[in-house]
Structures are given as C-alpha cells and as structure tokens.
Structure 1
Amino acid sequence: MFEADVQDVAQLVATGSIPSSAEIDALLATAHERYAATTDGRVADYIPVLGAADPSKFGMSLVTADGRTHSLGDSAHTFSIQSISKAFVYALVCDALGHEVVHDRVGVNNTGLPFNSVVALELNGGSPLNPMVNAGAIATTALVHADPTLRWEAIHAGLSAFAGRELQLDEEVFASEMLTNHRNRAIAHLLTSYTRLDPEPLGVVETYTKQCSLSVTAADLAVMGATLADGGVNPVTGQRVVSEQAARDTLAVLASCGMYERSGEWLFEIGLPAKSGVSGGILAVAPGKGALAVFSPPLDEAGNSVRGQRVCAYLSRALALNLFASAPRVKEQSSLVAPGSHRKEL
C-alpha cells in the first residue's frame, strides 16, 4: 500500500527548511499526477448511496496552522463525512466533560478488529476500547447530551465550528444509512445491556448516523484538521472550538486508532495522527503545522481510501511531517517558533 518510490521525495524539501506556498502547491500537483490513474480498491457498497460514488473523483487540500489553504482536484466536491466525524465529536466531548470522565467511559486502545466489530465489545466486558470504532463512537455520541434534539444541535454546531462554516445534513445519505445500520443498532443495544449507554439506544444511533451523514469537502476536512493542529483554534476563523487538552487527547487517539486495524502500519510508515471514512475521505494532522485531507472513494479491505493513503505517504515524506523522523539540523534553521509557542508553520 505504501509505495517504495516515495523515498525519492525525501530531499524535495531541504532538511530544516520551511516550504514555501509554491513548493507546497508543486508537491500537491505531483502527488495528484502520480496517483490519479490508480485503480486499486472499490467503493463502499454496503451503504447503497455510497455504492453510487464516482471512483474517479480525487481531490486534496492542505491547510496550515496559520490558515493558508492549498487545494487541488476535486477538493470542493461534497461527500458525507462518515467516520471522520468520530474524531471531532470525541474532541467536543473531551472539551465538555474532561479527560478523566471520557477516558473512564471510552478507552483508547486499538481493537485490532474491523471498525464495526461486536466481538471486540464482548471480549472487553462491554467497554468500548476506543472512540474511533463504532462501539466507542456511539458511546461518545451518547455523552454529548441525554436529549436527542439538544444532542444533535450540539454536534451539528460543533462540527460546523471546526469547519468554519455551517455543514449541511445529506438527507439521502442519512435515509440510506438508517435503512442499513442494523449492526450499529445491535452495538447500541449491547452497550445498553452492559450499562455503558445511558440514553435510549436507538435515539443515539440516529444521532450518530446523522453526524456521519454531514456533507463536507476535502477543503472542509483540512480546516477541521488544522483546528486540531492549532490546539483547538480554527486557523481560518480564529474561533477557539475546543481546548488544547481536548485537541491533544484527540490527536493521541487518532495516532493509535484512527486507521482501524491498519493504524500501526500507518503510524510506522507515515507517522501522523489520521482518520478515514468509508465515503473515501482521509484526514492526516501534523500537530502545530497543519492538516492534509484527501478524497477518493475506492477503499482497501479495512475501509481506507487507497489513493488517500498513497498521497499522505508521499506528502508526509516530501514535507517532512512524520512525527518520528529526525535529522541533524542547523541551529539557525531549527528555531522555527518563539519560546513557549506550539506552532510550526508549513
């Protein structure tokens, strides 16, 4: 999945340098050209409306922590956010309830199993292992509010604040998913049987399905990710959406669990917190620097966009974003930020 030829981009951005806007645009163009012809993967068809997606759609957007936006291809094409919503609802809940309360209800360890697994829940005594699989995400959504109307309003407003604009519910996607979400209903009932879900379970599933049915673009996702990268402040609007602690907690969970059972391989090869969705979106976040979002519907067996993974691998190396990569730096070049600041500009 992560092609060996990406190693040749390691020197495109000089070690220790800050890439210019022109360099970023050129690298995005190169990545798009490299992977536009990729035909691997297949669109998600277990949700009928997603099965009709155009597999040729391919867009990307990168937003820096200081609000600069770079987009290419079908970056303005709308699609449902799906599981990428889990990250932002988790951030909102962490911000509202605090680190310990949320951690007590929803764990942070990878299941090593598919995202919609019921087995993982049973093996752990009914406790969700992390908020990026469906069981943990449903439990997280339930923590927003006991009243279903207020719960949805809070989630809708919160995710819109992350994007910097009011996101719209895709009614067609929502209706299609409500007809096919039998496993999620079963998960909610199982959580209730273990007293891990307080509100009425089917009402929580409905809200969860709505949050997954919000329409976004790759450009929206990049802004949302850059908000996490900038410690909870939307770099485009300047609005604080969540606390620095909530942003940190979310990025930590994304690093370990965001790419489902491929999370370990992703972190090993690409080294960035990330989240995928079965509509074809991938969001990768470079803390303090910015975020990259890619949209391409064909998925691998784990439910991750094939083109999206390859683009992220390429740009992580080209832009020196891998959190675990280090190299000797010239002292004058290494001082990218003022003392005490968390921001490093792309």
Structure 2
Amino acid sequence: MKNIQIIYENTKKMTQKGKVASYIPALAEADSTAFSVSLMSMDDKIELGDCTKTFTLQSVVKVLSFMVAAHHHGIEEIMRYVDVEPTGDSFNSIVRLESNNNKPFNPMINAGAITIASLLPGQSMFDKVKSVTSFIEKILNKQVSVNNEVYMSEYHSADYNRAIAYILQANGFLKSDVEEALQVYLQLCSISVNSSDLAKIALYLATNGQNCEAACSKNVINIAKALMMTCGMYNFSGKFAAFVGLPAKSGVSGAIIAVVKDGEIEHLKGPIGIGLYGPAIDDVGNSVAGIDFLAKLSKQYDLFCL
C-alpha cells in the first residue's frame, strides 16, 4: 500500500488551499482538515483516513436521483424535460434558462436536478424522497437518513434555488409545484453517508449494477456515467475529463465519487469504486484534496479511461 499511502499523505496537505462551503450555514461547521478515501473492488478495499465520518451527499445525489427517475420513466421521457449536454456554467446558473425558454442542459446542475426531483416516482414529497433513499439503501445494504439540520439550513438559504424552480415552473419543466420540487431536492442533498458508502455507490456504477440488487437498467447507468464524465465536476468537468479521465461526481460538502471500469490499484483489480471526503473546496465547488488525489492516483496507476 506504499504508493497510495504516499499519495494520500501528500494530498492531505492540499486541504489548506480550500475553504468549507459557507453559503450553507450547516456546512460551514465542517472540519476543513478532514480527508478520507475509500477504494473498493468486488473482493477487497483500501481505506485511508476516517472513512466512518458522516457528511451529506449534496450534488453527488444528482447521479442517483437521475437514475431512479430515468429507470422509472425511460430516457426518452426524461429528455423531454432535461437534456444531457454540458454547459460550462456554474452549477446554479440561470442564464441559459432565461434565454429561449430552454430546458435544463443536464441533470448535474441545480436546474436539472430540481426538475428531476419533480419527476421522481411517487404522489407525495415523502414518496419521491423514499424512491431515492430506498435505491441507495439497496446499494449500501443499510438504512440511510436525511440530516435534518443540514436540510433546514439549506431550505432557509435556498433563495437562488427557489428562483431557479420558479423559472422552471414558468417554462413548463416542473411536474410538481415549486415547493415540493425544492424540498425533495434539498432533502436528497442532505442524505448522510460516509466515504465507504460513496465507494460502494461508485462500485455499483463500475459494475453496471451487477454487485447488488438495486434495480436500474445498464443503459441508464451508462448514461449516468457519461454525464459524470462530461458534467460531473461542475464547470471544471472538461479539465477533469482531460487530465484525470474518470467518470466522477462531486458535491459542495466535499464528497466525490469516481468510477474505475477496469483497473489495478495495489491489490485491488477489476471494477473499482472510489469515494472521497474533503470538505475544503475550491471556488468551483470541488474538494481540493479530492481533485489532487484523483489526479495523482490516475497517473500513478494508469486509470485514464478514454
């Protein structure tokens, strides 16, 4: 484990170059020096740092909610409301929504994720949230819950997301009212997990769902991974794809999942799921240590998948 341990120790120092998300008050309380990494294959795992420490999924959940909605409705129906094109804009941009009555460019930005939240199966807010938490529970083989403190903190500071939701409603892209779509979206962002959980989720994607009973079509999983590659790291996605070359999705909590289709990292071989937590983020919203770790890991173990 020598090489990966060296990468981890060198990368952990990068936490000094980022700051915790302050625009969501509950996230501002995170320890900026925290950094944990879990790598998981079908047979074994490597864990560095405290991989039991809990945090919230934030935007990482956008991958999972998209898969649940797309598996339920079918890709053709979903694409009536959300496209699959990268934007190069910040995750909460409304510029393209205001021009030409555009539908959201992809499910990895806030506008797309709020639209997806309105499309989740179920008649009530509770049902829609449950459709995603149940999916996650099948992947993890354990119960998950919404961190109510984080949810309420996000809800009371959600003016920008509420504005996005009203534009979506005005343009005919919401399938529920604004408050329901917003509350579903924010509750999903506030689901508590740890780094080991993230690695299991990433391994589910790496194996196209073959490692557990959580139902989702291979086609939907492949589209989700393509979206991660092109749109998963906010408006750093192009550079990440060019220089790291792994499907990945980040959240402003400092969470990142990354997918290795077929690789070899120390004694781990084959499909590998990677979960990271480093709440010190950059101006784009990505974990500073997480980005650095994945870049060094990809180079050291020749993981570039393009």
Query: Which category describes the TM-score, using the shorter chain as reference length?
Result: over 0.9
What is the CA distance between 1:245 and its match in structure 2? 1.1
- Report the Cα distance in structure 1 between the residues aligned to 2:13 and 2:272, rounded to whole angstroms: 27
- Report the Cα distance in structure 1 between the residues aligned to 2:28 and 2:203, rounded to whole angstroms: 30
Corresponding residue for residue 301 of structure 1: 283
- Report the Cα distance in structure 2 between the residues aligned to 1:62 and 1:123, rounded to whole angstroms: 42
Structure 1: 5+ residue stretches without partners: 1-24, 325-346
Query: Which letter maps to 1:273?
Result: P
Query: Aligned with 1:104: secondary structure?
Result: coil
Q: 1:192 aligns with which of 169, 181, 184?
A: 169
What is the CA distance between 1:163 and its match in structure 2? 2.7
Q: 2:249 aligns with which of 270, 275, 300?
A: 275
Corresponding residue for residue 58 of structure 2: 82
Query: Aligned with 1:180: secondary structure?
Result: coil
Q: After superposition, what is the alpha-carbon deviation per residue over 1:229-272, rounded to whole angstroms, capped at 9, x for unaligned?
A: 11123x3xx32431211110100111110011111000000001
Cα 1:163–1:212 shift into 2, 3 Å:
same
| Kept in 1: contact 2:135–2:214 (CA 8 A) | no
| Kept in 1: contact 2:13–2:289 (CA 8 A) | no
| Kept in 2: contact 1:89–1:140 (CA 8 A) | yes
Q: After superposition, what is the alpha-carbon deviation per residue over 1:114-155, rounded to whole angstroms, capped at 9, x for unaligned?
A: 101111222352300000000000111111134222111112
Query: Which letter maps to 2:142?
Result: R
Give yes or no for the alignment of 1:100 onto 2:80.
no
- Report the Cα distance in structure 2 between the residues aligned to 1:70 and 1:29, rounded to whole angstroms: 10
What is the CA distance between 1:162 and its match in structure 2? 2.7
| Kept in 2: contact 1:126–1:191 (CA 8 A) | no
Give yes or no for the alignment of 1:140 onto 2:122.
no
Q: After superposition, what is the alpha-carbon deviation per residue over 1:273-314, rounded to whole angstroms, capped at 9, x for unaligned?
A: 110100111111123522211111111110000000000011
Give yes or no for the alignment of 1:50 onto 2:32.
no
What is the CA distance between 1:171 and its match in structure 2? 1.1
Give yes or no for the alignment of 1:246 onto 2:220.
yes
- Report the Cα distance in structure 2 between the residues aligned to 1:182 and 1:115, rounded to whole angstroms: 15
Cα 1:120–1:164 shift into 2, 3 Å:
farther
Bigger drift between 33-42 and 44-53 goes to 33-42
Query: Which letter maps to 1:30?
Result: I
Give yes or no for the alignment of 1:321 onto 2:303.
yes
| Kept in 1: contact 2:195–2:277 (CA 8 A) | yes
| Kept in 1: contact 2:244–2:304 (CA 8 A) | yes
Query: Which letter maps to 2:37?
Result: M
- Report the Cα distance in structure 1 between the residues aligned to 2:294 and 2:300, rounded to whole angstroms: 10
| Kept in 2: contact 1:299–1:306 (CA 8 A) | yes
Cα 1:96–1:26 shift into 2, 3 Å:
farther
| Kept in 2: contact 1:284–1:291 (CA 8 A) | yes
What is the CA distance between 1:105 and its match in structure 2? 1.6
Percent sequence identity over aligned pairs:
33
What is the CA distance between 1:75 and its match in structure 2? 1.4
Query: Aligned with 1:177: secondary structure?
Result: helix
Query: Aligned with 2:71: secondary structure?
Result: helix
Cα 1:179–1:292 shift into 2, 3 Å:
same
Q: 1:311 aligns with which of 261, 272, 293?
A: 293
Structure 2: 5+ residue stretches without partners: 263-270
- Report the Cα distance in structure 1 between the residues aligned to 2:240 and 2:172, rounded to whole angstroms: 33
Corresponding residue for residue 17 of structure 2: 40
- Report the Cα distance in structure 2 between the residues aligned to 1:103 and 1:184, rounded to whole angstroms: 21
- Report the Cα distance in structure 2 between the residues aligned to 1:115 and 1:316, rounded to whole angstroms: 25
Query: Aligned with 1:290: secondary structure?
Result: strand
Query: Which letter maps to 1:248?
Result: N
Q: 1:119 aligns with which of 95, 100, 119?
A: 95
What is the CA distance between 1:160 and its match in structure 2? 2.0
Corresponding residue for residue 20 of structure 1: none
Query: Which letter maps to 1:71?
Result: E
Count of equivalent residues:
296
Query: Which letter maps to 1:59?
Result: S
Query: Which letter maps to 2:138?
Result: A
Corresponding residue for residue 5 of structure 2: 29
Query: Which letter maps to 2:240?
Result: W
Cα 1:320–1:190 shift into 2, 3 Å:
same
Return structure 1 stretches of 4+ with deviation > 4 angstroms. none
